[in-house]
Amino acid sequence: MFDAKELARKAVEAKSKALPTYSNFHVGAALITESGVIYKGANIENSSYGLTICAERTAVFQAILDGERKFEAIAIAGDSEDFLPPCGACRQVLADLCGKDLEVILTNQKGEIKTFRLEELLPFSFGEEFLKP
Ligand code: THU
Residue 132 lies inside a defined structural domain of this protein: no
- Confirm whether pTM is higher than 0.95: yes
Residue 82 lies inside a defined structural domain of this protein: yes
Residue 129 lies inside a defined structural domain of this protein: no
Asked if the model's pLDDT at residue 108 lies above 90, the reply is yes
DSSP conformation letters of 37-86: -EEEEE-B--SSGGG-B-HHHHHHHHHHHTT---EEEEEEEES-SS--PP
CATH number (domain holding residue 42): 3.40.140.10
Q: Residues 44-67: pLDDT tens digits? A: 999 999 999 999 999 999 999 999
Residue 131 lies inside a defined structural domain of this protein: no
Residue 50 confidence (pLDDT): 98
Counting the structural domains of the chain, the total is 1
Residue 130 lies inside a defined structural domain of this protein: no
What does pLDDT average to over the chain? 97
Residue 1 confidence (pLDDT): 86
Q: Is 81 a residue of the active site?
A: no
Cα 98 to Cα 118: distance, rounded to the nearest angstrom: 9
Q: Is the CB of 22 under 6 A from ligand 1?
A: no
Q: Residues 15-24: pLDDT tens digits? A: 999 999 999 9
Residue 61 lies inside a defined structural domain of this protein: yes
Residue 133 lies inside a defined structural domain of this protein: no
Cα 109 to Cα 18: distance, rounded to the nearest angstrom: 17
Q: Is the CB of 43 under 6 A from ligand 1?
A: yes
Percent of the chain, pLDDT > 90?
98
Q: Which of 45, 56, 72, 103 is catalytic?
A: 56
Residue 131 confidence (pLDDT): 96
Region 83-110: mean pLDDT is 98
Residue 89 lies inside a defined structural domain of this protein: yes
**Domain residues for 32?**
4-123
Residue 132 confidence (pLDDT): 82
